Structures are given as structure tokens and as C-alpha cells.
Structure 1
Amino acid sequence: MTAPAAAEPTPADHRRWARYLVEERAEGSVYQKLAARRTGEEQEILLRLADAERRHEQHWLDLLGGEPKRLPRAGIRSRLLGWMAGRFGSIFVLALAQSAEARSPYDAEQYATPAMRADEKIHYEVVRGLAARGRRRLSGSFRAAVFGANDGLVSNLALVLGIGATGVSSGFVLFSGIAGLLAGALSMGAGEFVSVRSQRELLAATEANEDAADAAGDLDIDENELALVYRARGMEQEEALLRAHRIVEAAKAGARRAATGPVRVPGSDHEIVGSDWTAAISSFLLFASGAIIPVLPWIFGLQGAAAVILALVLVGIALLSTGAMVGVLSGGPPLRRALRQLAIGFGAAAVTYALGLAFGVGVA
């Protein structure tokens, strides 16, 4: 059912409807491609979204009186999303789709139905929920990657600019940059190793064992302290008593494990924190991948102001890229996040460069 028209449709209206039509098709295609790369509940949700886009598509086809002979191309954002969805199916696509759904043109469109306007608002929340799932899965590793690479970028840029501003030779700047890379990467790797190893040891010390439950066959079924074990682990009194009673009964019958299965107690499950060596190596490589960028001009033989300018350009591009990536994933404005990242990085480098100038004679 279409909304009543306020006036006879104009050629401009038809052109606008055609744009809506191609955009709905493009969005539906994105959801179809994303669904093809997923399974289970997420796949079903994405397919339902694609069905809704087809309903909207049909609305504009009805107003146009059928398939137009000529249609405009979908917007750049829609084409980019379609390309990415077909090749990656990643959280980045959902984050971009979330931003697209947030800007519905139907709120001011007299020919869109109230149901279509409501659909667009619901779609935004659905896509935001799917994107949130991906963000939660990605948050830990993504945070570590951004932190490691940015730390390398900013710290080594600040180091080479500060050293270079004192007027020392290019060879000394290069040596300082390589030393800073290795020192920082080794420090990051060692820190991650100690952190993860310590966390694993701490969790191991708090893991529950079932020695008490294994001795359940020798307990009095009515008077025993087995329930206190589960209360100490965080269970409510009634639930702890019930669990203890079940375990004692099963043990008396010689089938505790068959009857109850593994005992799962709230608060006794710990997240797997990963391998200490994996964490150390990945932190080393992430820091080094960022720290090598400011040193590249000196590695390739540039000197003085030319090396400084190129280092600033390379690091600036890297900071803008990581900042924009954070913006896309967080659902915020990518440009603002990119500029923020750039300002922080260049601000830190400016401080050390000024100190180098204060203690030196200028750039070599």
C-alpha cells in the first residue's frame, strides 16, 4: 500500500524513485552476500533484512509502473559495500552498513509508507546489533593490534625526530631508530609474555577441583558439608544443597558422573587468555610493523629535512588509516577519529622535536 500523493508525480519524482529502487537493490544484495558467508542465526537475520529490502524495492517498482528502461547507478558507498561484502563479509561491512542505515531518506519522502520508515529504523538497530556482535569478538585482538602498531608509530617517530633535530648524522638517526624499534618491540613482547603467563597462573590457582565431589560416596546423604563447597563458589544456598544432594545420590549409586555430567558452577569458568608465546610474538611484530615506518626514509638513504618530511607523511598516512579504521568499527565518524589519531601522534613527535632543537643545532 503506497502513501497518498500530495500532487501529480513529476519527472523529478520518477528520477528519485529510480534512485531509491537501485539503492534498495544494492542494500538487499549486500545482505544476501553477507548471509552467504555466515551460518545459523546471523544468516537468518541477514536474509530477513534482504527480504525487507525487496519489499521496499517492489514499492518503488509499483510507483514507477514496472522496471524502467534506464536506471541510475547505485551510490559509491553502496557499490563499495557490495564489493566488500562479496569478498570479505567482515565487521567492517556491517559497521559501514550501520552508518548507511542511520541516514534514511524516507523520513522526508512523502511517497514512502509509514511502514517503510519504521522498517529503516528497525534495520538500523538490527544491523547495529549484528555489528556489536562482531565488535565484541574483535575487540580484544583489535585493541591489541591498534595499540601495538600505534605505539610503534608514535614512539619511534618521536625518537627519530628528536634525535634528528639535535643535528647528529643521518647514520646516528638510523641507528637510533633501529635501536628504538628493537627496544620497544622486545619490551612489548616481554611485557605481553609476563602479563599472559601471570594471568594464566592466577587463573590456574583459582580453578576449582572436584576432590570433594569425588569423595561424595563416603558422605552421609543428609548431613554433610559438600553444599558448602558450592556455596563458597558462589551458588545460592538452595541450589548448592540440591547439587550436593544429587552428587551424593549419584555417587552412592556408583554413577555420579554419568548422572550429573561435568559440574558447572557460576564463576568457576575462566576465559582462555591464550598462549603467552603467541601474545609475545604478536606484540613484538605489531610494534615493529609500526616502528619501522618512521625509519624508512633513513633506511633508503635520505637525510635532513627530506627524511623528516617523508617520515611525517608516511606516519601521517598510517595514523589516519588506523584512526579511520577505529571510526568505522566504532560506528563513529571515520574522519574525526583519523584526525584525532593524527593530532595525538604528531603532538607527541612535536614535543621531542622541540627538545631536540633546544639541545642541538638543527636538523642534519
Structure 2
Amino acid sequence: MSEVPGGDGGGEPPWNNSRKSTFSKSSSSEQLILQSSVSSSSLANTESSSSSFNETRYSPLGYQAEEATTNTEQETAEEQSASDQMSEFQPEEIFRNSSCTVCKNRRPKIGWKKDFTYAELQAATEGFASENFLSEGGFGPVYGGQLKNGLKIAVKQHKHASFQGEKEFKSEVTVLSKARHENVVMLLGSCSEGNHRLLVYEFVCNGSLDQHLSKHSCSPLGWKKRIKIALGTAKGLEYLHKNNIIHRDMRPNNILVNHDYEALLGDFGLARTQQEDSDHSSETRVVGTLGYVAPEYAESGKASKRTDVYSFGVVLLQLITGLETTDKELKGKSLVEWARPLLKEGNYPDLIDKRIVDSHDVHQLLWMVRVAEKCLSKDPHKRLPMENVCVA
């Protein structure tokens, strides 16, 4: 994100005026700009100081609104062969050997990847001991472990390993191991031995977003951290889409954070390249998570970048509201069903998580709400492409 709208939270909240005074509309789309001197990096380190909220011909994130609709022909041209896609990865330009400033956990060097034996992973996880269980991923359980060289890892077992052939598994690993970005969990290697299919990822030290948003969390996630996580998630998803990888299971459980609250997208067992998904166009099995699945995906079983964008919009709603997609407070409605009327009416205060109602920045909230609304458009062609959601 090149810039993040923000301020000191002072002054009259924008929603106290009519929507016409807040947003300038054209005949085809809402157009506005949120300008600020607060950069994404300053969110983590300094207090927001000042902001301006001006109406112009631009959209919430500074992109020209005329560019919001993706040309179908352009999308078709992007659907290249897997080998062509992989040749476009340039990890050394955007990936860094970063570390968590708290636990000093460094990421492995770029390009480090190996085929693990099952015995190695058994030893690393102490026989997949229950005390090393981390979470239940989209395709199976995830265990924490440590290699002999001291590197901490997360090992994911595939539930249905016997149904996935060696060739298909290796193809998936080849694609996913190329993904190198500071906001994407790194795939370190794999194990394909007998009926065992395991993926080995870097270990991310501070759990997943759902744990931090939980009402049972002893330390509620602050507003600045929520903004930072939203930005990191957007950058990670933009990177995947730029390289024609569709995540297919975007949700807080799959957004991991370190102690600096840098977001890393995880659980790529469900991911495919856009080309591969096109090759599987006859499939109708939806593999995402209920509450995050775009309407057209639920109907056709066909995933796309736009279905990922919809799921990202749901995640933004959760960051704003602190609610689960099937929260009891929603009285039987899904989070999106509950939120749509409030979004349409501009009734944003009713969306805010009560735990941060006195600490959020009204301009940043407005920015996040408007982005969420555009990502959740029922018409997939009107959703924001991720490259327009954030400018890395």
C-alpha cells in the first residue's frame, strides 16, 4: 500500500453528514479519494497525526475508478501455462530474509527447498505429537516441529493423500514453492513417500488472525494492528494474483501473524494457478469455507481471482466488526447479509467492534469499509482487482 488514509480520529465523523457530502458519485460508480501522509510502515511505529479527506475523481485507494472493471480479454491473456507463470516470479526483488523482532525467527534463504523423508518429519514433530498440533488446515492437520539444524517448521498432513497422485502433488509443490513474498508463508519442501503427502512450511510465531480476533482473546486486537494486518493481507493476495495463483480459502484462520503483526497468507493446500483451475473447469466441488465463499463460486464451483477478492472483503468485515461469519449476534444471518444494509445506509458506527469503538480512526474506518463494500459486490466484475486494492 503506498498510502493509508488516516488521522488523529478527531473532528466530526464523516458519516454524521449525508453520503452525498462524503462521496462524489459519477453515473457509473462512486468516486472518491482518501489522502493521508500516514504510510503503511508508520502505522506500526507512530501515532497518526493529520489527514485530509477530499472528494475527487479517484477511488478510495487512489486508483482511477475507470480502471476498476477488469477487461475480460486482458484476463484471458493472463492465463498462461504454468511454466510461463513460474518464469515470471522474481522473488529477489520483493522477498526479504525478514525476522520477527520479538522472537528473532529468521526466514530461510530464497530458493531453499528440499524433499523431506517421512522419518525426518516424524522426528521433527516428535511423532506428530498432540502437544505439537497447531491447527486443522483445509486439507488436514498442521503440526509444529523443528529440524536438526534448528529451523522451526509447520508440517501439514493431507487427509486424502491416497487420492492425490505423485505427479499432481509434485506439480502443486512446484507451483507453491515458487511463491516468495514477505506476506506469504514460505513453502520449504514436501514429502511424498508411499501414501504420505505432507507440505513443510516456515513456522509463523504468533498464531492466526482468528485467534487474535476471538472474543476469548485476553488481549483484544487494537485498531492499528488491524489496519496493518489488512494491508499485509492485501499485499500477499495481490502478489499471488499477479502470479496467477488463486488462494481459494481466504479466511482469518489462514492469515498468520508474527509478533510485529506482519500478516502472512498460509494454507496453500487449496491453491491453484489460474491456468490449472481453468483445466479443472468441469469440477463443481467448492473447497473454500462457508461464510467466505462468493455467490458465483458456491453456484458453479469455479474459483477465480474475483472469488478470492470476495473472501478478502469478508475478512475486512471481520477486522472491522470483530464478529465471526456465523456469530450469535447476527441472529441467524451470515456476516455479509447482516452488514449489507448497514453498508448501504452508511451506518458505519454500528459495524465497529465494541472493543475498539473508542480507539479507531474514523477516516481509516471509512476507507476500510468502502474497500470491503467494493470487494463484496454481488457482481464479480464490479469487485476491485487486488492490484487496485493495494499498490505494493
| TM, length-normalised to structure 1 | 0.24
Structure exhibiting the larger radius of gyration computed from Cα positions: 1
Which protein is richer in helix relative to its size?
1
- The structure with the largest strand share of the pair is 2
Task: Tell me the TM-score normalised to structure 2 length.
Answer: 0.22
Choose between structure 1 and 2 for higher RCO, CA contacts under 8 A separated by at least 6 residues.
Answer: 1
